[in-house]
C-alpha cells in the first residue's frame, strides 16, 4: 500500500554558528556532516572553523513542537535527568568532515573499554568519532566532552565515518587517500584492515544494519560492496553516469540507495546487485540554458527510520522527500547550499547541513507502517534475497518481500 502523501516539510528550527569573527577567516565554515545519536538524545554537527557542536535533544521547547522529543531517553540512560545534558563545543583543531555516533556498547564492550581506559570516567555511554582534514580521527566521550583516542593512518581528509550498528565498537573510515580503514575501539583503536581498490577520493561509507555489508562511494561511477565478515570486495554496482557521492542502506538491509552528480538516485538489491529503480532529480522550473545540467547534482541521500521514505539534498536548492513506491518526490522544501541530511532516529524530523555552517530541522512524514511492511521489514532483517526466493511461498509474496512490486 502506498503511504499517504505528506505535507510540505516545515522549518522547525535553525542553528547557526556563533561568534564567527573570532575564528581564522581561512578556516572552512561548511557543515559537512550532521548526526543524531542512535537513541535520539544528542545531535552533532560540524559547524565549521574546526568545531563540532554537541546539542542535547530535544532543543528548547519553543523550537521543537511537542511529540518530537527523544522517546528513548530514560532515567537509566540519563540518571540525573534532562538537566545533566549540556551543550558542548569540541575543538578538533582541524576542519571536520565526518561524524559518527556509536551505538550503546554491549556489556562485554564496556568491560573491555574500561580495561583500556582505567583513568577515564565511565565511558559506557555514547562515543562520537570525528574525521579531520589532516587524516586524523578523534574519538570523544559525549557526556563529558573528553578526548579518548586519536586514530592515525589515513594520509588525507577523512570524509566519512560509520560504526557497526551491533555495538561492537568497530569503526569504518573513508578518506580522500582512496582507502577505507577498519578500526577496533575495543583494542585501543587498533587498525585491523585497510580496504583498497578505489581510484578516486572516497566520499561515503555505510554499514548495513545487519552488519554484513559495507558500501563505499568514491568519485567514480560505480560503488563498491564489501563483506564486513571477511573485509573482501563482494561486487561493484555500476549504473551511474557520474561520480557517486552518497549511499545508505534501508533499515532492514534489503535495499541500498546511491546518489550521484548525474542527478539520480539508484535503488539496488545489495544481495543480487540488481538495479530496482532510478529516481531522477529534475528542476521544477526548466531553464533555457543547457549548461545548468549540474544544478540538480546530488549531495546526500538517506532512508527514514521505518524504511518507507527517502530524503535527498541537491544543488538545485531543494530538499526532496520520496515515498519508496513512487517515482516522483512527494514533498519539497527550499534550502540554500545544502550539503547533507539525516533523519531523526524515531522519525518525524530531518536535519540538513549547509555551506554556511547552519543546520536546519524540517518536519518529515510520520506514518504508521502497514502490517505488511512491518512483516517484510522483520523478515528481511535476517533473510537475504536468495533465502527469500528459496522459500515455498507464492511468487507475489516473494516479489513483495524482495521489493519487486514497484
The predicted pLDDT at position 118 comes to: 54
Ordered DSSP codes for 24-60: -TTS------EEE-TTSSEEEEEEETTEEEEEESS--
**Quick check: is 185 in a domain?**
yes
The predicted pLDDT at position 115 comes to: 55
**Quick check: is 268 in a domain?**
yes
Domain hosting 137: range is 11-60+84-285+292-369
The predicted pLDDT at position 293 comes to: 47
Q: Which of 327, 362, 356, 376 is nearest to 65 (CA)?
A: 362
The predicted pLDDT at position 1 comes to: 47
**Quick check: is 392 in a domain?**
no
Q: How far apart are CA 319 and CA 326, in angstroms?
A: 17
Q: Global pTM?
A: 0.87
**Quick check: is 3 in a domain?**
no
Tell me if 53 sits within 8 A of 19, measured CB to CB. Answer: no
Residue 58 in grid coordinates: 530535544
Q: Which of 240, 406, 206 is nearest to 323 (CA)?
A: 406
Phi-psi region of 66 (alpha: psi -120 to 50; beta: other; left: phi over 0): beta
The predicted pLDDT at position 186 comes to: 87
Q: How far apart are CA 387 and CA 249, in angstroms?
A: 19
**Quick check: is 4 in a domain?**
no
**Quick check: is 375 in a domain?**
no
Q: How far apart are CA 109 and CA 330, in angstroms?
A: 42
69-127: pLDDT as tens digits: 544 443 344 433 445 678 889 999 999 999 999 997 545 445 545 555 555 434 456 89
Residue 9 in grid coordinates: 516539510
**Quick check: is 398 in a domain?**
no
Ordered DSSP codes for 143-212: TTTEEEEEE---SS-EEEEEE-TTSS-EEEEEETTS-EEEEEGGGTTEEEEEE---SS-EEEEEE-TTSS
Q: How many domains does the chain have?
A: 1
Q: Which residues of the chain have pLDDT under 70?
A: 1-6, 18-28, 60-84, 105-125, 283-296
**Quick check: is 71 in a domain?**
no
- How many CB atoms are closer than 10 A to CB 232? 9
**CATH for 172:** 2.130.10.10
The predicted pLDDT at position 64 comes to: 55
Amino acid at each position: 500500500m502506498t503511504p499517504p502523501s505528506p505535507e510540505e516539510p516545515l522549518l522547525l528550527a535553525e542553528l547557526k554558528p556563533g561568534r564567527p569573527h573570532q575564528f581564522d577567516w581561512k578556516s572552512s565554515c561548511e557543515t559537512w556532516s550532521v548526526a543524531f545519536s542512535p537513541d535520539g538524545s544528542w545531535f552533532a554537527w560540524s559547524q565549521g572553523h574546526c568545531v563540532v557542536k554537541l546539542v542535547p535533544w530535544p532543543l528548547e521547547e519553543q523550537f521543537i513542537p511537542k511529540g518530537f522529543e527523544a522517546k528513548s531517553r530514560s532515567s537509566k540512560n540519563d540518571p540525573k535527568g534532562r538537566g545533566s545534558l549540556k551543550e558542548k563545543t569540541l575543538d578538533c583543531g582541524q576542519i571536520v568532515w565526518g561524524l559518527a555516533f556509536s551505538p550503546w556498547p554491549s556489556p562485554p564492550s564496556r568491560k573491555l573499554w574500561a580495561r583500556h581506559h582505567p583513568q577515564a570516567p565511565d565511558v559506557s555511554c555514547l562515543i562520537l568519532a570525528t574525521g579531520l582534514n589532516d587524516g586524523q580521527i578523534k574519538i570523544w566521550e559525549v557526556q563529558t566532552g573528553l578526548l579518548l583516542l586519536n586514530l592515525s593512518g589515513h594520509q588525507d581528509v577523512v570524509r566519512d565515518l560509520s560504526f557497526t550498528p551491533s555495538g561492537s565498537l568497530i569503526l569504518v573510515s573513508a578518506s580522500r587517500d582512496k582507502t577505507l580503514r577498519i578500526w577496533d575501539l575495543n583494542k585501543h583503536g587498533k587498525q585491523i584492515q585497510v580496504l583498497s581498490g578505489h581510484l578516486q577520493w572516497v566520499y561515503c561509507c555505510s554499514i548495513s544494519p545487519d552488519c554484513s555489508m559495507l558500501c563505499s562511494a568514491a568519485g567514480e561511477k560505480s560503488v563498491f560492496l564489501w563483506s564486513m565478515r571477511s573485509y573482501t570486495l563482494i561486487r561493484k554496482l555500476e549504473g551511474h553516469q557520474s561520480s557517486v557521492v552518497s549511499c545508505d542502506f534501508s533499515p532492514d538491509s534489503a535495499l541500498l540507495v546511491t546518489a550521484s552528480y548525474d542527478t539520480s538516485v539508484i535503488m539496488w538489491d545489495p544481495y543480487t546487485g540488481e538495479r530496482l529503480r532510478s529516481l531522477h532529480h529534475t528542476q521544477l522550473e526548466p531553464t533555457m540554458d543547457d549548461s545548468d545540467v549540474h544544478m540538480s547534482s546530488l549531495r546526500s541521500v538517506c532512508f527514514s527510520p521505518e524504511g518507507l521514505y527517502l530524503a535527498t539534498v541537491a544543488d538545485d536548492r531543494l530538499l526532496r522527500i520520496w515515498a519508496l513506491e513512487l517515482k516522483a518526490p512527494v514533498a519539497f522544501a527550499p534550502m540554500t547550499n545544502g550539503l547533507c541530511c539525516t533523519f531523526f532516529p524515531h522519525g518525524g524530523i530531518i536535519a540538513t547541513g549547509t555551506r554556511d555552517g547552519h543546520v536546519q530541522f524540517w518536519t518529515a512524514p510520520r506514518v504508521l507502517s502497514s502490517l505488511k511492511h512491518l512483516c517484510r521489514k522483520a523478515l528481511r532483517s535476517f533473510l537475504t534475497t536468495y533465502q527469500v526466493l528459496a522459500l515455498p511461498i507464492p511468487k507475489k509474496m516473494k516479489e513483495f518481500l524482495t521489493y519487486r512490486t514497484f
